[in-house]
Amino acid sequence: MNKAFVKESDAEDDDAEPQQVLLPKGSKNYITPAGYARLQLELKTLVESERPKVVDIVSWAASNGDRSENGDYLYGKKRLREIDRRIRFLTKRLEIAQVVDPSVHHGKEQVFFGATVTYVRGDGSEQTITIMGVDEADPLQGQVSWVAPVARALLKSSVGDEIRLMTPAGIEMIEVVDVSYPAPSSDHSASN
C-alpha cells in the first residue's frame, strides 16, 4: 500500500474539535460543581490511563515492522489523535469554566442557572427542565443548556410569569409554575 494514502488518512480531521455546543461569543462557560468534577475526572482518566495504554499499543505495533498494513498501529494512531483532541478540548473548557453552585438559590422562586423549572405550554401540557452548562446538559434527562432558547427565555422569570418563547412555529406563551434548586450540600456543616 502506498504510504501517501496512509499518511493522508492518518492526518484527516487532526485539528477538528468534537461536535460540542459553542458558547455565545464573549460569554462565560457556566457549569455546575458536579459537571466540573465530571469533566476533570474525564480529563484525568484520559491523561493518566487511556493515553498511556494507547501509546504502549502503538509503540508495540510499530516495533512489528511494516506500519502501512498494521491494523493495531493504524487504529492506535487514530485513537491517539481522538484522545489528544478530547484532552485539548477539555483543557480549554476547564480553563474558562465558571463553576456556579445552584444550591445558593435553594428556596427561591426566580429562575437562575441550575434551576429545575416546570412550565405550562400553550396547549396545557407541562414540561420540566433543568438549566445546565453546555458541556453537561443531557436533553434525554430533561437537562437543557443555558444557551438554549427555552432556557434563555426562562432565565430571571419567576413562578406565575408568562413568557414569550420563540419557536420554529412562531411565538408560544409559556407560564412558569414551579422553580426548584438542589438543597445546599451538608458537606459544609459536616466539616465544621
- Domain interval for residue 133: 103-180
Based on the fold, state whether residues 54 and 37 are members of the same structural domain: yes
- Residue ending a domain, choose from 44, 78, 99: 99
- Residue ending a domain, choose from 68, 99, 130: 99
Residue pLDDT, tens place only, 36-81: 999 999 999 999 999 999 999 898 888 887 777 778 888 999 999 9
Per-residue confidence band for 25, with pLDDT thresholds at 50, 70 and 90? confident
SS3 172: strand
36 CB contacts (<8 Å, ≥6 apart)? 94, 97, 99
Domain count, the chain: 2
Q: What is the pTM of this model?
A: 0.76
Residue owning grid cell 420540566:
128
